[in-house]
Structure 1
Amino acid sequence: MVLRACGFIIFRRLVGRIPSPGNIEYLLLQTSYGEHHWTPPKGHVDPGEDDLTTALRETKEEAGLGAEHLKVIKGFVQELHYEVRGKPKEVLYWLAELKDPGTAVTLSDEHRDYRWAQLEEACTLARYKDLQDTLRAAHRHLEACQDKQ
């Protein structure tokens, strides 16, 4: 059986700057277990729960950011496939903007730290190629959206 998880690539625009992809920071959480890797908020789908509801619930639980704090960006969803302890896992990520860049992040016990990071630092923290590719894809999507405005 495949483990399924869902979450958000959350970004904020730096305050007081002209909107551009260079003024974007991504939220990564550092786990309090294992190798203390950095990851966007995500978690396992509960029985009977749809994927987007899971992403919203897990983001609220892990980072204290609820649906009222986020604007989901249309047209972006990434699906990752990898193994965890020899078992297949798939993770879906949507892209969401933090409506108020000053909103505080409140961590659960699952995480010991968080960081807002621009793209290259976020990719360095992320370490895993598929997550780095997802962050870069999110950034390209935001650049394409910016170009249309």
Structure 2
Amino acid sequence: MALRACGFIVFRRLASCAPPTDNIQYLLLQTSYGQHHWTPPKGEDDLTTALRETKEEAGLGAEDLQIMEGFLKELHYEVRGRPKEVLYWLAELRDPGTEVTLSNEHQSYRWVQLEDACTLAQHKEMQDTLRAAHRYLEAQQDKQ
């Protein structure tokens, strides 16, 4: 049976004169275990879990996030020889100045632009998901 996890690709928009999608930064957390990999916050099973885990791992609650309707990505990969699937929703941080508070599962966090997020994420599936989120946000911006 596949392991399952769910989480959010959390982003914030910074005020700037640059084009709107150039002002987007993504939140990545660095694990305090294993190879100290970087990922968005995630947990076990569904949207409720994704909200709970994001609160637990990054200190960001449902009141801090605006979930973007229409974006959901499913990743499939192996962890220690077992298949794993992860669902990611996209959520905007309502107040870009909100502080991140890490759990003991993570040792660091960064707000980074797309290409830096992809460099930190390292895994192709996560990089593809971050790029898909960015394309989604660009398409939403074009509609406005």
> For the superposition of Structure 1 and Structure 2, which TM-score range results when normalised by the shorter chain?
over 0.9
Conserved 8 A contact 2:9-2:41: yes
- 2:100 corresponding residue in structure 1: 105
Q: Aligned pair 1:144/2:139, yes or no? A: yes
1:75-106 deviation per Cα after TM superposition (whole angstroms, max 9, x unaligned): 10000001101111100000000000000000
Q: Match for 2:96: what amino acid?
A: P
What residue in structure 1 maps to residue 32 of structure 2? 32
The CA RMSD measured in Å over matched residues stands at: 1.0
Is the 2:16–2:23 Cα contact (8 Å) retained in structure 1?
Answer: no
Q: Distance in 2 between matches of 1:16 and 1:123?
A: 22
Letter in 1 for 2:14: L
Give runs of ≥4 in structure 1 deviating > 3 Å: 16-19
Q: Tell me what 1:94 maps to.
A: 89
Structure 2 CA distance for aligned equivalents of residues 100 and 19 of structure 1: 19
**Is the Cα contact below 8 Å between 2:13 and 2:24 reproduced in 1?**
yes
In structure 2, what is the Cα distance between the partners aligned to 1:125 and 1:28? 8
Identity within the alignment, %: 76
- Structural mapping, 1:1-149, within 5 Å: 1-17=1-17, 20-45=20-45, 51-149=46-144
The CA deviation string for residues 34-79 of structure 1, in whole angstroms up to 9 with x for no partner, is 010000000112xxxxx11011010000000000000000110000
Q: Output the amino acid matched with 2:136.
A: H
Unaligned stretches of 5+ residues in structure 2: none
Cα distance between partner residues in 2 of 1:17 and 1:77? 30
Q: Secondary structure at the match of 1:130?
A: helix
In structure 2, relative to structure 1, the CA distance for the partners of 1:70 and 1:34 (3 Å cut) is same
Structure 1: which 5+ runs fail to align? 46-50
Q: Is the 8 A contact 1:4 1:91 kept in 2?
A: yes
How many pairs are equivalent?
144
Counterpart CA distance in 2 for 1:103 and 1:19 is 23
DSSP-derived class of the 2:101 partner: coil
Show CA shifts across 1:4-26 (max 9, x none).
Answer: 10000000001354661111000
